[in-house]
Amino acid sequence: MTIAASRPSRPAGEPAVTQMPAAPMEARAHRLPRGIVTATIGHLVEWYDWYCYVTLSLYFAHIFFPDQAPTAQLLNTAGIFAIGFIMRPLGAWLLGLYADRRGRKGAMLLSVSLMCFGSLIVALVPGYASIGYAAPALLIFARLLQGLSLGGEYGTSATYLSEIARPDRRAFYGSFLYVMAILGQLLALGSLALLQFVILTPDQLNAWGWRIPFLLGAVGAVVVLFVRRNMAETEIFEEKEAKARERGTWAAVRRHKLTFLMAMGINVGGTVAFYTFSAYSQKFLVNSAGFSAKQSTLICTAALFLFMLAQPLFGIIADRIGRRPVLLWFGLLGTFGTVPIMTALAETRSPIIAFLLILAGLLIVSGFTATTAVVKTELFPTEIRAMGVSICQAITASLLGGTAEVVALQLKLAGHESWFYWYVSFCCAVSLLVYLAMKETRAAALRAEVPVA
């Protein structure tokens, strides 16, 4: 259905009054920016907490896994990072189902509460020297809670943004999910840089200073709870009665089985490439390219900052020319550009060249990150939208995103590190085939009435 087709025709002789009254329109215009902030600020805090684990694992790996070689310590912490992804499909199902039946607001409040609790555990749990194997066990429990939270947060936030946005700006608004995700990662890297260069000595940072960012993340989650408690439910969700949604949920799932497969295919390459260039690259610079931890932090922070700024630009392009061409940008360049970029990154000793190579990889990935949320929300109907988006994102993230670092480190230990580059390229090629086969979704109507805000 096109936008024009959704507008009622005006009978002959009737006055041309097609706009809503001024007060409701002004109220919608006022609520829209606030709704975007409300939805995405939770995404910021959750990804800050999630990436604190990634950025700080270089400093706390020896606390939980002492008396091991550095690569083995990183492999153990990476394994726990991957375990956190196991809960993401369960969180996507539970919180997504709750969001589709009871409302997007309640699910978003619950997700950030779980993330707060998980971060608090990581901040306070003693090390192996104090409580033995209970230390890594509690670390695993915290990551499971955070995985449950993040599994439901993405799909619910993406659904909320798409349902409050104008049809011609959905990709632009949806791109702010990754803006906030990257901003969360930048804040995690920034907090580490501040501790490294200004506040603490290396010994203090390794001993206890790494706990500070996790504690700040828990406090930030509490702030988001207060911000979200007065958020408005989307009008699209409220158009259908709760009982009608419950009756239609599983029937809709059965009708859209192929849609679930397509949405997961859209994610395959982008998920692996995103985690490779945004998360694993910091360890890759230290463990493979020979850069110091401080150099790695600065290089990745600078590249991620520009990557963050690029998201709305790619979103605007996707609103202008369509989602499919932007996805094809990623699919083609990811398939044929990953191996040269990673090979050059492993061989360079110049911080500037390393920065440019990581930035190039991230700009390629922008074709995926800026459009993936809106594409999936346009594929699913209202009654299973949050659950569908969440589950497809969570499954691919669990199977491919969370294991990317483990695969890379295992191949390095086996002496075949370059095989990982080809693995990433292959995943991008799988998604490229989906992009070539899929139809454009830009004209999809999430509702019969066109939003006016």
CATH code at position 88: 1.20.1250.20
What six digits make up the tokens of 297? 């932090």
Show the domain range for 284: 29-437
Amino acid at 228: R
Judge if pTM exceeds 0.75: yes
User: Is 15 a domain residue?
Assistant: no
State the greatest distance between any 2 C-alpha atoms of the chain, in Å, as a whole number. 85
Name the residue type at position 415: G
SS3 2: coil
Backbone angles phi, psi at 80, to 5 degrees: -70, -35
Per-residue pLDDT of the chain (453 residues), as tens digits, is 333 333 334 444 433 433 333 334 334 444 556 667 777 888 888 788 877 877 777 777 777 766 655 666 666 666 666 677 778 888 888 888 888 877 788 888 888 888 888 888 888 888 777 787 787 788 888 888 888 888 888 888 888 888 887 878 888 988 888 898 888 878 887 888 788 787 888 778 877 888 888 888 888 888 888 888 877 777 777 666 554 455 556 666 777 788 889 999 999 999 999 989 988 888 889 888 888 887 888 898 899 899 999 999 999 999 999 999 999 999 999 999 999 999 999 999 999 999 999 999 999 999 999 999 889 988 888 778 888 888 888 888 888 887 888 888 888 888 888 899 999 999 999 999 999 999 888 776 565 333 333
Return the SS3 of 304.
Answer: helix
Q: Quote the tokens at residue 37.
A: 């902030």
Please give the pLDDT value at position 453: 34
Q: Please report the pLDDT score of residue 25 as a whole number.
A: 37
* Count of other CB atoms within 10 angstroms of residue 346: 17
Q: Tell me how far apart the alpha carbons of residues 254 and 275 are, in angstroms, rounded to a whole number.
A: 31
Q: Is residue 425 part of a domain?
A: yes
Task: Tell me whether residue 167 is in a domain.
Answer: yes
User: Tokens 């930048």, residue?
Assistant: 186
Q: At how many degrees (to 10) do helices 134-164 and 104-124 cross?
A: 150
Q: Residue 3 falls within a domain, yes or no?
A: no
Measured in degrees and rounded to the nearest 5, phi and psi for residue 294 equal: -65, -45
Q: Tokens 């459009």: give the residue.
A: 371
CA 239, chain centre distance (Å): 28
Number of Cβ atoms within 10 Å of the Cβ of 4: 7
Distance CA 442, CA 170 (A): 9
pLDDT, residue 442, reads 79
- The residue type of 400 is L
Residue 21, domain member (yes or no): no
Return the pLDDT at 231: 78
How confident is the model at residue 71, as a pLDDT?
A: 61
Give 248-294 pLDDT, tens digit per residue: 566 667 777 888 899 999 999 999 999 899 888 888 898 888 888 87
Q: Distance between CA 187 and CA 26 in Å, rounded?
A: 34
Return the exposure string of 208-234: e unless at least 16 CB atoms fall within 10 Å of the residue's CB, then b.
ebbbbbbebbbebbeebbeebeebeeb
Question: Between the CA atoms of 267, 273, 276 and 277, what dihedral angle is there, to the nearest 10 degrees?
Answer: -120
What local confidence, expressed as pLDDT, does residue 422 receive? 96
| Domain membership flag for residue 9 | no
DSSP secondary-structure letter at 414?
Answer: T
Give the number of domains in the chain: 1
Residue 133 within a domain: yes
Residue type, 428: C
Task: Report d(CA 112, CA 91) in Å as an integer.
Answer: 12
> What dihedral do alpha carbons 245, 251, 252, 255 form, nearest 10°?
-170
Residue 448: inside a domain, yes or no? no
Q: What are the tokens at 30?
A: 């006022």
How far apart, in whole angstroms, are the C-alpha atoms of residue 378 and residue 45? 26
